[in-house]
Amino acid sequence: MAVETKLLMNYEHEFFERYSTLCRYRRTTFYEEQQWRLKNTFQDFSFCKDTAISVLAIGSGDGTKDVYIIDALAKKVDFVDYVVVEPSESEIQKFKTIESSKQDRGEWKNVRLTYHQMALEEFLGKPWQDKENYFDIIIAIHCAYFISNPGQIFHDLYKILKKGGTLFNTMSVDAWEKILQEAEKHHSCRTISSYGSMELRQKLGQTMPNVNMKILRRKNGIGVDECFREESKDGNDILDFILQIVDVRKNIPEEIVDKLLIYLREKCCHSVDGKLYFDADDEDIIIVKE
Ligand SMILES: C[S@@+](CC[C@H](N)C(=O)[O-])C[C@H]1O[C@@H](n2cnc3c(N)ncnc32)[C@H](O)[C@@H]1O
């Protein structure tokens, strides 16, 4: 029987609380992830030939990952215009704190950050965004799940990308998509608008079939042993974030939670040194505007 669920994305405090717990259980740190991405996905920004570049960063959260991107760009070009679109006020405040300390240390003298506290859908509807060919780089890391109608929105993002510019999108792939689809069988509505990279790629195939697209995959794991301990706060936070539901254990009948935990363990995990890791592999989609 389908049951009603509270979607995590509608509860800002709970969303970021659970996200930060989940991040503590990752096999790789943000630093390692971004070093990998700088080298492989962004190619150390060797394609940046202009002296000034404009970047649109979508769903940056607290900016922890953006720091590595901005550091690399600030060393590469004379001026970086970095436009952040992020709906959470509290996350933007944290990003601004990072910016202040970088400015105090004189590290981002050639960087101008502009913050738009709003959803991407609203930002794209703003008049000044009517101009096409505006951004050299567009970056969306783990946020396209929450954007309504991502197929159409990415089509619109492509329009505001300059000719020769690049759009980078990161999303989870495979296991996360599988468990969300499995969970969807048991409750009445979708938790998020796109379950992962595979689904986004299908949507892009319909809305922008002829674009130049490259795919890179990166292994990742999230420790999930705690999810199997009913009384574990961390385990319940991680389970909530994986399923994108608030208080899974309170809101979903026990027999369904048990089924989903078995599915998690048997179909979506690997073990290392006796510890169980959720196969939270990422896929980077790189779209170059020709
Ligand atoms: C899982 S977090 C990822 C944060 C960061 N990019 C990272 O990888 O750690 C998803 C982010 O997308 C943001 N977000 C949610 N809906 C959005 C929307 N409609 N437009 C832009 N950003 C959105 C959330 O506020 C959150 O900061």
Could you read off the pLDDT of 13-72 as tens digits, one per residue?
A: 999 999 999 999 999 999 999 999 999 999 999 999 889 999 999 999 999 999 999 999
Res. 190 pLDDT band, cuts 50 70 90: confident
Q: What is the 3-state secondary structure (H, E, C) of the chain?
A: CCECCCEHHHCHHHHHHHHHHHHHCECCCHHHHHHHHHHHCCHHHCCCCCCEEEEEEECCCCCHHHHHHHHHHHHHCCEEEEEEECCCHHHHHHHHHHHHHHHHCCCCCCEEEEEECCCHHHHHCCHHHHCCCCEEEEEEECCHHHCCCHHHHHHHHHHHEEEEEEEEEEEECCHHHHHHHHHHCCECCCCCCCCCHHHHHHHHHHHCCCCEEEEEEECCCEECHHHHCCCCHHHHHHHHHHHCECCHHHHCCHHHHHHHHHHHHHHCEEEECCEEEECCCEEEEEEECC
Closest ligand 1 atom number to CA of residue 147: 19
Distance 22 CA to ligand 1 centre (A): 15
**CB of 62 closer than 6 A to ligand 1?**
no
Q: Mutate which of 62, 143, 180 to test ligand 1's pocket (most atoms within 8 Å of Cβ)?
A: 143
Q: What is the pLDDT of residue 189?
A: 74
As a whole number of angstroms, the distance between CA 230 and CA 83 comes to 42
Instruction: Answer whether 169 contacts ligand 1 (Cβ < 6 A).
Output: no
Cα of 264 from ligand 1 centre, angstroms:
24
- For residues 116-141, average pLDDT: 88
Report pLDDT for 1.
45
* pLDDT over 90 percentage in the chain: 90
Q: For the whole prediction, is pTM greater than 0.75?
A: yes
Ligand 1 atom with the smallest distance to the CA of 120 is 20
Cα of 86 vs centre of ligand 1, distance in Å, is 7
Q: Given ligand 1 and candidates 12, 58, 118, 146, which is best to mutate, with the most ligand atoms within 8 Å of its CB? A: 146
Mean pLDDT of 177-195: 90
Evaluate whether 55 touches 135 at the Cβ level (below 8 Å). yes
Tokens 């940056």 label which residue?
60
Domains belonging to the chain, first-starting first, are 8-288 (3.40.50.150)
Nearest by Cα to 166 from 147, 198, 140:
140
Burial class (CB in 10 A: 0-12, 13-18, 19+), 46: exposed
Q: Ligand 1 mean position to 255 CA, how many Å? A: 31
For the chain, the average pLDDT equals 94
pLDDT digit string (tens) for 221-232?
Answer: 999 999 999 999
